[in-house]
Amino acid sequence: MKIMVTGGAGFIGSHIVDRLIEEGHEVVVVDDLSTGKKKNINKEATFYKVDILSSRLEKIFQKERPELISHHAAQMDVRKSVADPAFDAKSNILGLINLLECAVKNGSRRVIFASSGGAAYGEQNAFPATEAHSTHPLSPYGVSKLSSEHYLYYYHKVCGLDYTALRYGNVFGPRQDPHGEAGVVAIFTEKLLKGEQPTINGNGMQTRDYVYVKDVVEANMAVINNKVNGIFNVGTGIESTVNVLFKHLLEITGSDLKELHGPEKKGEQKRSCLDAKKIYNAVDWEPRVSFLEGLQNTVDYFKGS
């Protein structure tokens, strides 16, 4: 099958590209390299350096005619979305609409969409959150991801375009970008390996559902191979505080640095944890890499990069 992966030079997208090619699929990568890296792109993939907002996207669809789109291109920084909501909406909502219009016009059948579990639900009132949990995003990023799910539903009902939205937990692992505000595991890891002091926002008691990138890739493969539609959480169901994460990384890196706390950040959730029973029942997916094993793999990657 020919599959287009937007954001295929990025952290999660590049891992998905590798796995798709391993499975024998023909892969087209669309990425503007604003955050993705060319070195992440599998050499067997066809690459187009294009912004998903560009009118050039239509010509790529006309030429390549992908059957399925794995949509991972996005403005993914919660704090950046708070600082500039219009930029976030332009990238994440208008970019998606341009993509879906191209897909419908050129015969694509299905979209796998990288959504967000934590950001879409907002502050949870049940732990872990199922897909039926209320959605009250606390950031423009969360609003744009939730809005995108509604657009996918519209295109499904009106245009017949099938879709699966995967609401990711806090994904971490090799190739995650340590530069910027997103990706606390990568940021802390790089700083600790360099002997630099990381800063924990607030009291460090905020929790996240940390899910290893390899498990996220397998969730994508499971829904692609089983052709299931709908919305699914992709997480571990386990909450871990930022303070605990920091302590684990101190042990793994051998650092003797101490905790340093800074101010809280606007739009940042207090607690996030996802129930993944729905995807387990649908495609028999469950996370297989433990938090500590994933952290060790991530540290090893950063040591060698």
Question: CA–CA distance from 151 to each of 6, 98, 232 (Å)?
Answer: 17, 11, 16
**CB atoms near residue 67 (< 10 Å):** 16
* Structure tokens given for 50: 């294009």
Residue ranges of alpha helices (H) inside 43-183 are: 56-64, 78-83, 85-89, 95-105, 117-121, 140-159
Strands 207-208 and 240-241: what pairing? antiparallel
Count CA atoms closer than 13 A to 218's CA, side-chain side: 14
Q: Which position has the token pair 């959150």?
A: 129
Q: How far apart are CA 73 and CA 92, in angstroms?
A: 8
Of 48, 141, 155, 163, the active-site residue reads 141
The pair of three-digit structure tokens given for residue 299, joined into one six-digit string? 């540290």
Name the β-bridge partners of 5. 29, 70
Residue bearing tokens 């744009």: 144
| Cα(225)–Cα(22) distance, integer angstroms | 14
| Whether 141 is catalytic | yes
Which residues, 6+ apart, have CB-to-CB distance to 261 below 8 Å? 199, 200, 201, 202, 203, 204
Gap between the Cα atoms of 197 and 204, Å rounded: 15
- Residues labelled as active-site residues: 141
